Amino acid sequence: MTATDDVVTPEKIRAKFGDLQGEIDNTTSSAKNLATTIGAAVVVTLVVAVFFVGLRRGRRNTTVVEIRRV
């Protein structure tokens, strides 16, 4: 190694930060897609569960009225 390889220049710093920023952008993009998918699945599951709970409650509390003609 020569002395010029050990010198830290602003260009080297900018290049390294640019590489890191690219990696961070890729990671956050992947995480956002995964979070969106998981969030959608949770919402759908919650809506279906509430629907079935309401359906059961409706059957249990339904009043049966019998009409007779005289």
pLDDT of 8-57, one tens digit each?
Answer: 888 998 988 888 888 888 888 888 999 999 999 999 999 999 999 888 77
Is 2 a domain residue?
Answer: no
Q: Which two structure tokens, joined as six digits, stand for 37? A: 């998918």
What domain count does the chain have?
1
Q: Which two structure tokens, joined as six digits, stand for 11? A: 């260009």
Is 51 a domain residue?
Answer: yes
Instruction: Output the pTM of the full model.
Output: 0.54
Is 66 a domain residue?
Answer: no
Is 1 a domain residue?
Answer: no
Is 3 a domain residue?
Answer: no
From residue 12, alpha-carbon distances to 4, 18, 25 in Å are: 12, 10, 20
Is 24 a domain residue?
Answer: yes
Residue 15 structural domain? 9-60
Is 67 a domain residue?
Answer: no
Is 42 a domain residue?
Answer: yes
